[in-house]
């Protein structure tokens, strides 16, 4: 049972005031170690906000464990995103390659499908190179599900990447409309559902939250 905090009669801490602590830190912090290490294939899909954000959160967690991470963004590239500079705080443990020309067919994107496909094909080759380099513990293929849905990459190409994944590498595939065969082969799949989104109230995308 959770008990309510005791009323001390003192006002709550305000900005600049020292907070009165009621609790204490744990006696120790344990570190879990799996008995058998395994590189996971994780799919983050759905029409809600937070797929790339979730993957970036896992990159942050991986860095905390001393891992090296490579992020390849299949669609992003024509609009600045905060993670491009944010990863610099990781001190070289994270490499990010934004290879896309934007989200084709929306927001007035000026590039042809052929141009988008050419860039996505380059991103696939880059993914295979990074996967085989032995330099990374985690590979994030951001928006690859979208690229497959839009036929910028082929299903056989994505399945080849899954088949070539080193046993101890974690592979993350993000983007809406994940293909059923990719979902079937993945170890972990999360579908992010939209309940509300600010843009439906005509609120513009906000830096730090949306990009």
Name the residue ranges covered by the structural domains of the chain: 41-194
How confident is the model over 27-31, as a mean pLDDT? 91
Strand partners, 71: 96, 140
DSSP track, 107-149:
TT----HHHHHHHHHHHHHHHHHHHHTS--SEEEEETHHHHHH
Which residue matches tokens 């007035």?
108
Half-sphere CA count of 118, side-chain side, radius 13 A = 6
pLDDT of residue 14: 54
Per CATH, which fold does 41-194 belong to?
A: Rossmann fold (3.40.50)
> What pLDDT, on the 0 to 100 scale, is given for residue 79?
85
What is the C-alpha to C-alpha distance for residues 141 and 35, in angstroms, rounded to an integer? 28
Instruction: Summarize the confidence of residues 1-12 as an average pLDDT.
Output: 45
CA–CA dist 191, 51 (Å, integer): 9
pLDDT value of position 105? 67
Bigger pLDDT: 71 or 105? Answer: 71
Instruction: Tokens for 147, please give them.
Output: 């690229």
Query: Which pLDDT tens digit goes with each residue over 95-135?
Result: 999 999 888 766 678 889 999 999 999 999 999 999 999 99
What is the pLDDT at residue 196?
A: 87
In a 13 Å sphere around the CA of 189, the CA atoms on its Cβ side amount to: 16
């Amino acid at each position: 049972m959770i008990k309510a905090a005791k009323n001390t009669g003192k006002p709550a801490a305000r900005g600049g005031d020292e907070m009165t602590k009621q609790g204490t830190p744990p006696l120790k912090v344990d570190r879990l170690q799996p008995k058998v290490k395994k590189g996971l294939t994780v799919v983050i899909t759905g029409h809600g906000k937070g797929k790339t954000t979730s993957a970036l959160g896992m990159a942050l967690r991986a860095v905390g464990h001393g891992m090296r991470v490579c992020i390849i963004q299949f669609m992003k590239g024509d609009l600045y995103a905060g993670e491009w500079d944010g990863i610099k705080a990781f001190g070289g443990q994270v490499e990010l390659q934004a290879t896309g020309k934007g989200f084709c067919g929306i927001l007035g994107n000026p590039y042809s499908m052929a141009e988008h496909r050419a860039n996505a094909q380059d991103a696939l080759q880059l993914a295979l190179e990074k996967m085989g380099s032995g330099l990374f513990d985690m590979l994030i293929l951001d928006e690859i599900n979208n690229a497959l849905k839009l036929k910028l990459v082929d299903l056989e190409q994505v399945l080849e990447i899954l088949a070539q994944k080193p046993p101890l590498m974690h592979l993350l595939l993000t983007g809406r409309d994940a293909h059923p065969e990719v979902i079937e082969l993945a170890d972990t799949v999360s579908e992010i559902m939209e309940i509300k989104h600010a843009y439906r109230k005509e609120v513009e995308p906000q830096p730090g939250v949306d990009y």
